Structures are given as C-alpha cells and as structure tokens.
C-alpha cells in the first residue's frame, strides 16, 4: 500500500509590508498538529507544510502541485481568506493567489458561498445539512472583544436573530472533500473565526469529535467562547468549552474510500 501523506496548508502571520516573511512565521501550527496527530491513526504520514505567502493578486501564481497524489491529504486550519481582498478588514488576511490555493477555494465553495472575518454565508448544500444550519446560513461576527456572533439567519426565510454581546457564542466549521480536484488530494478544513476558536475546535476534533475526521463532508457547530485562562499550561481549558453540533446529525459518513476504521 502506498504511503498517504498529509500536508498543512499554512498561511503567514500578519506582518508589516516592509518586513520579510520567513517560513517559521505561519499561523495555527498547534491546531494543525492536533489534527495531523489524529490522522496518523488513519494511516497518514506528515510530509510538511505548503506555504501560502501573501500576494496582492489578482493574477494567479502558477505553482507545481503534481507531488500531491490522490491518496494524500491537505489540512487547512486557518479560516480561508476566500473573500478578504474584496472587503478590506484589519483582522482579515491576504490570499496567496497561487493556483493551488484557487483549487482549494474551489473545493470549499461547495459549502462556503462567502467567507471573510466578519461574515460567512453558506451554500444551499451546506444549509441542507440540517434545519439548524439552514437557520444560520448567513452569519455575521464581531471584530472586537472576540469573534462571537453579531447576528445570524436565513436569506431564504429572511428570519434573522441579533445576538447580544453577553450571549458569547460563535460558529466553527469542518469541511472534507475526498478529492479537492480531479485526481488530486483530499482536503480537510477546520476553522473558527479567531485563532483561539480554531485552536479549541481542532483540539476537540482530534479528541472528542474524532469520528468526523475524513468521514463527514460538512459540520457546523456552535461554541461557547467563555473565559480564557491567563497563560494556560495545557489545553485543558478546551474541554470546558461547550460545543453543540448543529449539523449533520451525530452520525459520521464512513463510506469514503480513503477512510480507515
């Protein structure tokens, strides 16, 4: 059996435009490590990062991704900046505008119609996951004081809920495609709106919700943000974050040929 490699699809930390970026300055490393550790039990071997350095675009930068085989897997643990360039935001981050990134975004667009730091709009395919997800097809998030909901609702029913600041909830997502493009690798994306939420979500996916990894095409959950301890020594605080799976029903899909029980 051929070796199945897993790669982190890594984005750079924010930096001043007049300063160089180095390979070690990448986001969400522990979040990715959590998932990769769990994925080794499915037969994957970590093969390193795929660096996404910021670019102004819009012309795509051609990169060689032929080393990515159909049995390999790309893991993305940063909110994909699919539309950040269209809505300038100090908390957003830049695309790399590589041809590989575009392929990844094309795969994610099956479930994400619009994705920025302040707004995520889901597609009809994602909304079909459950009535709870359909009721949150359009999601707005705060920029200050955390990444909690500002409002959510459905553009179909036009029913929207304004969420008060004291109601400290946010949304987190998981997307899995067996092949991100024809003949290409699988794609596993897990993220929240902020770094802490992404870190907690990926930790819980690697522990409590491991059954969803590489089995379930789309998961949306709500997370209580709660109090973050000052200088926590371990990830124990993540276990205290209440998470509610909104969709799908609590039953993984195990019919993917890449999944190993």
From the centroid of its chain, how far is CA 192? Answer: 6
Residue range 157-182, pLDDT digits in tens: 999 999 999 999 999 999 999 999 99
- 258 pLDDT more than 50: no
Summarize the confidence of residues 220-237 as an average pLDDT.
89
Per-residue pLDDT at 15 = 65
Per-residue pLDDT at 16 = 66
The residues spanned by each domain of the chain are 4-116+161-247
* HSE of 18, CA atoms in CB hemisphere, 13 A: 0
Whether the CA torsion 30, 33, 35, 37 is positive or negative: it is negative
Would you mind telling me the total number of residues written for the chain in this entry? 261
If DSSP codes are grouped into helix, strand and coil, which group holds residue 210?
helix
Summarize the confidence of residues 22-35 as an average pLDDT.
90
Q: Round to whole Å and give the CA distance between 169 and 141.
A: 10
Per-residue pLDDT at 91 = 65
Residue range 198-213, pLDDT digits in tens: 999 999 999 999 999 9
Please name the residue that has the structure tokens 């994400």: 112
**Pairing between strand 73-76 and 186-192?**
parallel
Which helix H or strand E contains 215, and what residues bound it? none
Per-residue pLDDT at 104 = 98
Summarize the confidence of residues 175-204 as an average pLDDT.
97
Per-residue pLDDT at 253 = 38
**pLDDT band at 82; cut points 50, 70, 90:** very high
Residue range 248-257, pLDDT digits in tens: 975 443 333 3
**pLDDT band at 1; cut points 50, 70, 90:** low
**pLDDT band at 261; cut points 50, 70, 90:** very low
Per-residue pLDDT at 254 = 37
Q: pLDDT: is 3 or 142 the higher one? A: 142
The pTM for the full model equals 0.91
- With beta carbons less than 8 A apart as the criterion, state whether 171 and 79 touch: no
Per-residue pLDDT at 48 = 96
Q: pLDDT: is 213 or 57 the higher one? A: 213
Q: Round to whole Å and give the CA distance between 207 and 245.
A: 15
Per-residue pLDDT at 243 = 95
- Peptide bond just before 171 cis, omega within 30 deg: no
Residue ranges of alpha helices (H) inside 63-145 are: 99-108, 124-127, 131-134
């Amino acid at each position: 059996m051929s070796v199945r490699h897993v790669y982190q699809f890594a984005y750079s930390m924010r930096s001043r435009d007049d300063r160089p970026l180095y390979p070690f300055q990448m986001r969400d490393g522990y979040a990715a490590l959590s998932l990769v550790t769990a994925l080794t039990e499915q037969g994957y071997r970590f093969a390193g990062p795929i660096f996404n350095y910021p670019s102004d675009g819009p012309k795509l930068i051609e990169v060689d991704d032929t080393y990515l085989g159909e049995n390999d897997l790309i893991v993305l643990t940063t909110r994909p900046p699919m539309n950040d360039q269209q809505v300038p935001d100090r908390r957003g981050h830049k695309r790399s505008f590589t041809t590989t990134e575009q392929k990844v975004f094309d795969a994610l667009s099956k479930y994400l119609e619009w994705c920025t730091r302040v707004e995520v709009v889901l597609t009809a395919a994602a909304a079909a996951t459950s009535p709870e997800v359909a009721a949150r097809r359009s999601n707005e998030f705060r920029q200050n004081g955390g990444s909690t909901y500002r409002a959510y609702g459905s553009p179909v029913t036009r029913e929207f809920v304004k969420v008060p600041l004291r109601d400290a909830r946010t949304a987190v997502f998981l997307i899995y495609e067996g092949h991100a493009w024809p003949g290409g690798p699988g794609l596993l994306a897990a993220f929240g709106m902020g770094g802490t939420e992404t870190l907690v979500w990926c930790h819980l996916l690697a522990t409590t919700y491991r059954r969803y990894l590489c089995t379930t095409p789309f998961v949306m959950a709500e997370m209580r943000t709660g109090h973050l301890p000052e200088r926590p020594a371990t990830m124990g605080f993540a276990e205290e974050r209440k998470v509610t799976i909104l969709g799908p029903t609590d039953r993984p899909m195990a019919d993917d040929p890449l999944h190993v029980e």
